[in-house]
Protein backbone atom coordinates (compact mmCIF):
# COMPACT_ATOMS: atom_id res chain seq x y z
CA UNK A 1 0.00 0.00 0.00
CA UNK A 2 1.34 3.40 -0.96
CA UNK A 3 0.43 6.36 1.22
CA UNK A 4 1.46 8.79 -1.50
CA UNK A 5 -1.58 7.83 -3.60
CA UNK A 6 -5.25 8.75 -3.27
CA UNK A 7 -6.97 8.86 -0.76
CA UNK A 8 -3.96 9.24 1.53
CA UNK A 9 -2.38 12.13 -0.34
CA UNK A 10 -5.38 14.45 0.11
CA UNK A 11 -3.85 15.80 3.34
CA UNK A 12 -1.00 18.27 3.26
CA UNK A 13 1.65 16.53 5.38
CA UNK A 14 3.62 19.75 5.91
CA UNK A 15 0.51 21.50 7.22
CA UNK A 16 -0.31 18.58 9.49
CA UNK A 17 3.26 18.56 10.84
CA UNK A 18 3.08 22.31 11.52
CA UNK A 19 -0.25 21.95 13.31
CA UNK A 20 1.18 19.12 15.39
CA UNK A 21 4.21 21.27 16.30
CA UNK A 22 1.98 24.19 17.29
CA UNK A 23 -0.21 21.90 19.40
CA UNK A 24 2.88 20.57 21.19
CA UNK A 25 3.94 24.15 21.97
CA UNK A 26 0.46 24.96 23.31
CA UNK A 27 0.46 21.80 25.43
CA UNK A 28 3.85 22.74 26.89
CA UNK A 29 2.60 26.25 27.70
CA UNK A 30 -0.46 24.80 29.43
CA UNK A 31 1.71 22.37 31.41
CA UNK A 32 4.01 25.22 32.47
CA UNK A 33 1.07 27.40 33.50
CA UNK A 34 -0.47 24.59 35.56
CA UNK A 35 2.87 23.94 37.25
CA UNK A 36 3.25 27.62 38.14
CA UNK A 37 -0.30 27.81 39.50
CA UNK A 38 0.43 24.75 41.65
CA UNK A 39 3.48 26.52 43.11
CA UNK A 40 1.41 29.62 43.84
CA UNK A 41 -1.22 27.58 45.69
CA UNK A 42 1.54 25.86 47.68
CA UNK A 43 2.84 29.31 48.67
CA UNK A 44 -0.64 30.42 49.69
CA UNK A 45 -1.06 27.30 51.83
CA UNK A 46 2.33 27.86 53.47
CA UNK A 47 1.39 31.45 54.37
CA UNK A 48 -1.95 30.28 55.75
CA UNK A 49 -0.21 27.61 57.84
CA UNK A 50 2.31 30.20 59.06
CA UNK A 51 -0.43 32.60 60.14
CA UNK A 52 -2.34 29.87 61.97
CA UNK A 53 0.82 28.78 63.80
CA UNK A 54 1.77 32.38 64.63
CA UNK A 55 -1.58 32.90 66.37
CA UNK A 56 -0.78 29.98 68.67
CA UNK A 57 2.57 31.39 69.90
CA UNK A 58 2.24 32.80 73.39
CA UNK A 59 3.47 36.36 74.04
CA UNK A 60 6.45 35.04 76.01
CA UNK A 61 7.80 33.35 72.87
CA UNK A 62 6.88 35.90 70.21
CA UNK A 63 10.28 37.65 70.24
CA UNK A 64 12.10 34.34 69.89
CA UNK A 65 9.72 33.28 67.12
CA UNK A 66 10.41 36.53 65.25
CA UNK A 67 14.18 35.97 65.51
CA UNK A 68 13.92 32.41 64.22
CA UNK A 69 11.63 33.46 61.37
CA UNK A 70 13.84 36.37 60.33
CA UNK A 71 16.90 34.10 60.38
CA UNK A 72 15.15 31.67 58.05
CA UNK A 73 13.99 34.47 55.73
CA UNK A 74 17.54 35.81 55.47
CA UNK A 75 18.87 32.30 54.87
CA UNK A 76 16.36 31.70 52.08
CA UNK A 77 17.08 35.09 50.51
CA UNK A 78 20.78 34.22 50.47
CA UNK A 79 20.12 30.92 48.68
CA UNK A 80 18.92 32.68 45.55
- Cβ of 59: how many Cβ atoms within 10 Å? 6
pLDDT digits (tens, 9 = 90+) for 27-45: 999 999 999 999 999 999 9
Distance from chain centroid for Cα 67: 31
Mean pLDDT of the chain: 90
| Residue 75 to residue 36: CA distance in whole angstroms | 23
- Look at 44 and 17; give whichever has higher pLDDT: 44
Given a cut of 70, is residue 22 above it in pLDDT?
yes
Amino acid sequence: MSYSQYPFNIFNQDLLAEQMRQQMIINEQIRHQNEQLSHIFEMKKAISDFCCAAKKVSPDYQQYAMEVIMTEILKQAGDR
